[in-house]
Amino acid sequence: MACALLLAVAAPVYGIPAVHDAWRVAVALPLGAVAFVSLGVLLGSLLPSARAAQAVGLLLFFPSFLLGAGGPPPHVMGSVVKQVAGPLPLTLLTNAVRAPWLGLGPATGSLIGVAVLAVAATAVAARRTAL
Amino acid sequence: MFSSLSGGERQRLFLVLALLNRPRLVILDELTQGLDPAARRNVWAAIRQLNDEGTTVLLVTHEMDEAEALCDRVAVMRAGHVIDAGALADLVERHASTAVIRFSMPDPPRSCWTRSASSTGCGRWRGPGRGSRCAATGASSPTSVPPWCAGSRCQTDLAISQPGLEDALLELLNGDQDEQTAAVSGTRRTDRRTAMSTAVGRLVRAELKLMTRDPLVLTFVFAFPIVTMLIIGGAFGTRPDPAFDGTNPSHWYVASYLTVVIAATGLVMLPVHLASYRERGVLRRFAASQLPALVVRDRPAHRRAC
């Protein structure tokens, strides 16, 4: 719902770019959703309180956001920052969605990374989930 | 601070919190559980006063004496369904109208035991000897004691046990159990599956509704990605730029920000909601419900102490 709203807002302002490889985008988005939902379930299960979950969640979200999706493009990042940003889950997911969408390449490595992350996070979350 | 309170103190705190904004309807679930008798009576008095002041009280309890002391109307539930409801006296009358009269008659006149049940007023009776018992149907009082007994030796230890809500409940649940046993097992499985899917559907709908009203969700999942996309997406212009792999920077960010929505949901919203539900025991209640194990898992025993 939030994704649809975001696209609805973006459409009249910037326009929505044509999707070059719809299949890969269609695979990457749900895989990414599964991976991040599993990470969220894991965090929510392991952290002792809602406040702790909020603190840790925000601590993970903002660096991921700045380095992996909403910040400067990788080409203008320093080499160290680029190395740090590369393996972040959000960077992998963004590459796996953005590259096939804009026709920048298949981003198979990123897609596999997201798939591995989704499977691993789901397996760990299923094992560790506690009420 | 809260963790240092005793069970009784916590229950009283919950009651105070529930009444803070003077609600017209309060739902009290097992409120007196774990309270000592004195505290229990105090809570009863508070509930009565609340009711006298015009507040409707929906009380959930397993204690029949509590229901008898506080309730005007009672609904009996089994497996999530109301199996009977009504005024207290009506329920008792419907399901447990038999009073039991007990008395001793060490040396009864032989004629007593040859009388028919209808002439003595007893539905069934047992005797002669010590602990003779007469079960009378209808609202019994000392005046309904069989006339052949009144004034005789047995009156010294005459005791009449009036049926109460607990007797009615037992009768009602036993009857309902029999009906359930008679049901076809396939039908029961279907009912259970339907109940589960209904429960899960309701849970998802309620959760979605809550999400759209939660400031944290509105901020991080809806507002933050849209606002930052609008700002940053326009910051680098709309001409193809080599720094953006030769694409339009705005389009670059539109494609990127979809993943920000996913990350905000997974890293911010979900952990907070889940930890909050765990803190408040909501998930434990789900675990005790009919939801399938796939939806709710109980905490492993070795982690319970944490």
Domain ranges in chain A? 24-43+50-128
- Percent share of chain B, pLDDT over 70: 61
Q: Which CATH number fits domain B2-71: 2.70.150.10, 3.90.1300.10, 3.40.50.300, 3.90.1150.50?
A: 3.40.50.300
Reported confidence tier of residue B211, pLDDT bands at 50, 70, 90: confident
Give dist(CA A76, CA A62) in Å, integer: 19
Minimum CA–CA partner of B232 in chain A: A70
* pLDDT, average across residues B127-136: 53
**Tens of pLDDT along chain A (131 residues)?**
777 887 887 778 777 888 888 888 898 889 989 988 888 888 888 888 888 988 998 999 999 988 888 888 888 888 888 888 888 898 999 988 888 888 888 888 888 888 898 888 888 887 766 55
Reported confidence tier of residue B285, pLDDT bands at 50, 70, 90: low
Beta bridge partners, B29, equal: B60
Mutate to test the interface with A, among B208, B262, B294 (most CBs of A within 10 A): B262
Q: Both tokens of residue B177? A: 């159990």
Measured in residues, chain A has a length of 131
Say what the pLDDT of residue A48 is.
84
Here the ipTM equals 0.90
Q: Both tokens of residue A111? A: 């897609």
Residue B71's identity, in one-letter code, is C
Q: Flag if A70 and B278 touch (Cβ within 8 Å).
A: no
pLDDT digits (tens, 9 = 90+) for B82-126: 888 888 888 888 887 677 666 665 555 555 554 444 455 554 555
Say what the pLDDT of residue B114 is.
46
Reported confidence tier of residue B178, pLDDT bands at 50, 70, 90: low
Domain ranges in chain B? 2-71, 98-162, 185-303
Q: Flag if B258 and A43 touch (Cβ within 8 Å).
A: no
- For chain B, the C-alpha Rg in angstroms (whole number) is 32
Mean pLDDT of chain B: 71
Q: Give B 164-223 residues with CB within 8 A of chain A.
A: 216, 220-222
Closest CA to B91 of B162, B169, B161: B169
Positions of E strands within chain B: 25-29, 56-60, 73-78, 81-87, 98-105, 124-126, 129-137, 159-161
Residue numbers in A near B278 (CB within 8 A): 44-45, 130-131
